[in-house]
Structures are given as C-alpha cells and as structure tokens.
A and B are shown apart, each in its own frame.
Chain A
Amino acid sequence: MRAGRPGAWALFRRNRLAVAGLAILAIVVAAALAAPILPLPDPDATMLDDRLLPPLSAGHLLGTDHLGRDMLARLLFGARLSLAVAVVATLLSAAIGSAIGLLAGYYAGWTDTLMMRGIDTLMAFPYMLLALAIVAVLGPGLMNALVAVGIVNIPFFARTVHGATVGQAGRPYVDAARLSGFSDVRILVVEVLPNVLPTIVVTIATTVGWMILETAGLSFLGLGAQPPQADLGSMLGEGRKLFIVAPHVAAVPGLAILLLVMGINLFADGVRDTLDPRLKSGALSRPAAVTETRLEKEADPGSSRLSEAILEVRHLRTWFFTGGSVVKAVDDVGFSVAPGECLGIVGESGSGKSVAALSILGLVQTPPGRIVGGSVRFRGQELIGAPLDTLQDLRGNRIAYVFQDPSTTLNPVFTVGEQVAETLRRHHGLSGGAAWRRTIDLLTTVDIPDPAERAGAYPHQLSGGQRQRVAIAMALANDPDVLIADEPTTALDVTTQARILDLLDRLRRERGLALVFITHDFGIVRDICDRVVVMRHGRVVETGAVEGVFVAPQHAYTRLLIEAVPRLGEAPA
C-alpha cells in the first residue's frame, strides 16, 4: 500500500468476503503460532490404547490417529510447518522470479530474450511435473520439496514482474534518473522496484495458496515431510492408508488445508482488487437488458400534441447514479418526429443527446443509468416502463439504431452477413437461406460492392465506411418506422461521411422513414434535417424548423454551434 493511494485499507474493508478470508487466515495463523504454548497434548506422544478415537472423544477434540496421537495437536503443529514451508517457498520464488523479471524487463535486448526464453522453457513443463523431477533427483524431504515447489513457481513471478517492469522502464522518470547519472542498480531498486511492488505483492498473495496445496501434495505422496516430522500433507498421506476404517484421520487435515487455502484465496482476491483499481469492486457490473425505470411520479397521460408524430418523447428524465452522486444526463427533454421527417438533435458531447435517444428503447446502461420520469410514445403506445418483451419486439424491428463507431459496434467474431441475417430471423422468423438472400439484397441497397462475397467477411476485414454501411443495412433489415442514427459519421473520414449521409437521406425519402439524427455538427443538420432540437446539459435549449433556427437562433448556445460550422470560402474561426 504505497503512498498516494489513500484508503487502501478502507477499500479492502469494503470487501466483506476478503475480510472473512483475512479472519480465517488470522485465526489459523494465530493458532499455529501459539501451538507450543497452548494446553495441548504432545503431538508426538503415542498412546497405543487410545488409537483411532473418533472426533469429540474425551480429551481428544478431533480424535486420535493410528498411534493414538492427538489429532488437534498434530493438526496445529502440522499447519505450522505447512505455513512455514509455503511462505518460505513463496518468498524464495518471489525473490528469484522478481529479480529475473526486473532485470530482463529493465535491460531489454539480449538479456531479456535470453532470460525470458529460459522462463518460457520452464513453463513448457506441465506444472508440478518438474517439481516431481527435482524431488526425484534431490531425494524425498521437506527441504527438497520446498526447493522444488519454489523453483516451479519462479516463472509466474518472472513473467508478471517482467510485464510490470517493461511498463515502467519506458516512463520518463526512469529516463530522468538515467540522465542524472544514477547507476542501474540504484534506478532498479529505488525507482522501479517501488512501482512494481504492488504487482509482486498481489502475485505473492495469489501464490501462497497454491504453494500450500503443492507442498501438501508432495508430502502426501511421501516426498515431502518425513516422519516423525509431519505437515498437513503427510498427515493426510498417513491417514490415507486407513481412511476406510477411520476416515477422520484423513478428513481432518484435508479440511484444514481447504479452510486455510480458502482463507488465503479470499484474502488474495481482496488484495488484488484493492491494488488493481481497474477491478475495484463494482467496476465490473453487468449492464442489464433494459434500463431500470423508477418513475418518481406517474407519467402524465396527456394527449399528444402532434397527431402526425410517430414517436413522441415528453418530459424524459434519465439520471446516472454513481456512488453517492447523481448526474442528470437527461432532465425534462421532449421532442417528436413524424414519418418521412428528419429530426436533428444537436449538442456537444455530454449534452445528453445520446442518452435521450438510447432511453427510447431502454438501452441506457443500468447500472448506473435509470429512467426516473417522462413518457415515450411510439404510435401512441407508452414505452417507458413497458415489459422487456415489448421493447425487444420493437428494437431493431420498428425502431432501429445506427451507432457511432462501427469498429466497436459490430461483433468482431461473427461475419457481417450473420449479424444482419440474425435480426431478420429474429423479427420475421425467416429461415436461414431466406434471411441470407435478404441480407445480400440489403447489402446491395447500402451500396456494398460484391455483397454476396462481403457478407461472409468479418468486420475487421471491411473499411470503416463499409462497416457503417453494414450497420445501416442491419438497422434497415426489418423496414423500421423510425431510424435513430447516433453520430453515424463522426468516426469516418470526410468523403465517406458525405456518402453515408447521402445514403441515409436517400433511404429516408424512399421509405418514408422517420429519421432521428444525433450530431454535434450543425452543418449536417442544415443539410438533411427538417427540424432541430438543441440540447445542452441534459436540457432542450431551443427547438424549431431548421431554416428558422439557422437564420435566427434564439439561444446564445445555438449561435455558438452554428458559428462552429465551417463555411465555404471562409477561414475557420
């Protein structure tokens, strides 16, 4: 927990499972450390009259083994030994592995290649098989098992630390230290090591559990601790010989290992989540299938103002709830669009225009988004709070979306043809062959050359413009009534932009589509839209027919957006 990360402990404490792990670990470690001073029988005292007593016998809480030795005493002393061996083995491989990783990552070049190839070769062995080979030549014994397990785990540390070091070695502070004439050793130890330390700590935490299982395994096979010395593994190994007659002799040490390793693993997960901000608890929450709706009051059932509107949004509020704070991304927004009409929604990024559009079919990510008020009506049907089934039947069918960046909005592992065809199969129940033929027609409509062949291509094999054409084909597949295009040309180069806009405009006119066009570019709105809504900070600041707004903007912000449009023959402001 290095400085500059205040609250590491607080962060860790929030993770209840990790705290439970730490508690288990603390109890086991405390009991193991205190074993010599606890009022326990001598773990090696044999009492042949009291052999194989079951657990809960008088004087022997966990019973006795085949020589009448007290299981509880043996267990605590065994845990002591197992822990000691695992910790030493972990530190051994952490020290050697980290040193290799640091040196290779820092010096790069030949040193790097040579060292990491060696590590790769060690990793080419099935895990533990190398440990067996090492014990085979060194001979059985706890020290030899420790060495073997330590060596086998070196590659994990070397690899992880290497990765972290390479990430640090290129940083300006390292160059600065070099230019200041510091020695390599000093730079490595004083500058690089502290930055790599969290990685090492996390790897140690996640490795100790494995180490306990591995040394226990070797002892179980009779290759680790030798009698009278006993760790948890060798106790289990002895118990195995008579486990049918007296199962507790094997069951108890095994349970102890399970408990100990589970505690360590829980604790290690907590340490990892604390030190790795990316995995901070909650950061990996799955977005739900539909935006959560929790209306603060019933939606106003008032009649629609524009009878010709096919889609009407009124008083929409979509807020983001993160931690304790609320961001009112969309706050009382309304607009409507009629068949064959193009409505532009303009605003800079963060104005709430995309969130408003996504709210229509509940596509805002929950968490953190939540629709807290308003009404969305499609052909008079209320969509806010509508069942998921209803929304899914409309999505991609009557109301379709085209998103901004076609390099991330198409699924990389399916062919583009399949991605168009599946939406046909979903909404029209078309068979595979019919859907595929219709897909090729659609790709032809959006001017993809050689559509039959391109349909079998994966997204990364197409150009950005072609990918966006595919996305448009996907949106048009079911002849929707409303097409919502969210900055569909922003990620494309200028010539491609113009072509995609022409295509959208043509399709709107041919098919009588209601087009909702979201952009930050007033120029595009002027070219293709009939009416415009200007949004800022989650609110509508101005709305009206495009010519009117363009000629006489009422709001200062609208004027600003219009002035940002480059005009022919004028230098950009």
Chain B
Amino acid sequence: MLTRSVPAILVLALAMFGVAPYFIAQAPYESTMGLVQKIFYFHVPAAIMMFLATFVCGIASVAYLAKGRAHSDRLAEAAAELTVLFGIITLISGPLWARKAWGVWWQWDARLTSTLVLWLLFSAYLLLRRFGGPGTEKLSAGVALFGMANVPFIYWSVNVWRTMHPKTTVVPSLVPEMRFPFYWCMAAFLLLFLALIKTRVRLAEQQDSLDLLLAEAEG
C-alpha cells in the first residue's frame, strides 16, 4: 500500500488544478498575444517539470552507475516516464500557442528542436527499458546522462540563438497579477510531480518484489 501522504498530495494537486482556471482567467491579457498567451500558465510549469524529471533521472542514473543500488535505478525509470509525460504536455500545448501567436504550428529553431530531441531521448530510454531485456539498466543510464546534458542547452538556447520563442527573462519580469497564477500552477505541477514519482517508484519496488518471488518459486 502507498503511504497516506501520496493520495493526500495527489488530491491537493488536483484541487489546485481545479482552482487554477479561475486564477488564470483573472490574470490580465498580454498586449501582443491576447487570450492565447494564457496557455503559458500550464505550458511553462509542464516544461519545468520535464526538466526537473530529466535531472532526477540523470542524477539517479549517475548514482546507479556509481553504486549500483536498485533504488536509484527505480527512481531513474520513474523520472524518465515523467519526462515523457510532461514532455507530451509541453510539446502539444506549445504548438497550439504558436499557431495563434506565430501563425505556424512549429519552427525548427534551437529551443523547439532540442526539446523534441530530449523527449525522443527519453522515449528511447523507456523503449530500451521495456524491450531491451535484462541488463539494459546501465545502457539506459547512459542515455539518461545524454538527456540531462541536453537540458542547459535547451534552457539557454532562446538567449543564444535567434528564435521566435520567448526568452528566459519572461518569468522573472512577470507583473504580480500574472505571477500569482503562474506560481500557483507551478506549485500544483510540483505536487503532482511528487505524488507521481513516489507512486511510480512504489510500482517499480512492488514489481521487483513480485519478480523475485516468482523467480524463487520457479527455481
């Protein structure tokens, strides 16, 4: 059974998500993009959670490669799954925003392309774990390291290369009326992240216990 904290965190996160549209609706419109800019309040927290999950996966992979502890490997696998989940939200909400704001669904610029590459890397990680067979844990950990190395490149890409994507200065410069709903959504996404990663690690632990029990019964 899961500890009581996980359902409580999950319920709190979902309640915060339920209230979020009210705060987002109260936030002022952006002068050049108008209504569609409000995608920002989910798009950016989802992207930040994607990066956070990537870092958790990368650091846990380093720990697994260094010490070989099973818990690190489970944590890395859980975080990789969350990278893909939050990546889906980021990579779908972004083009919907772009279609209205830029007039195109997609631009092959540094930010968008490198984010897509990150998502593909972690999709490859999960496929490797799912179909690679025994012994792919270390190979997957190597893939996760490549993914983690990609994150700073993605973050600074908008400041270094010419792109249509908003720069990293946008969030620190938000007016208070926009800042509050943004950090509300950030908190909701962070709570969701915590609940999901704890649940996913628990699932991996239970699966390992079951595999061990079945192996003992067979042999």
The finding on whether chains A and B are genuine partners in a shared complex, rather than unrelated, reads no
Q: A residues touching B (Cβ–Cβ < 8 Å)?
A: none
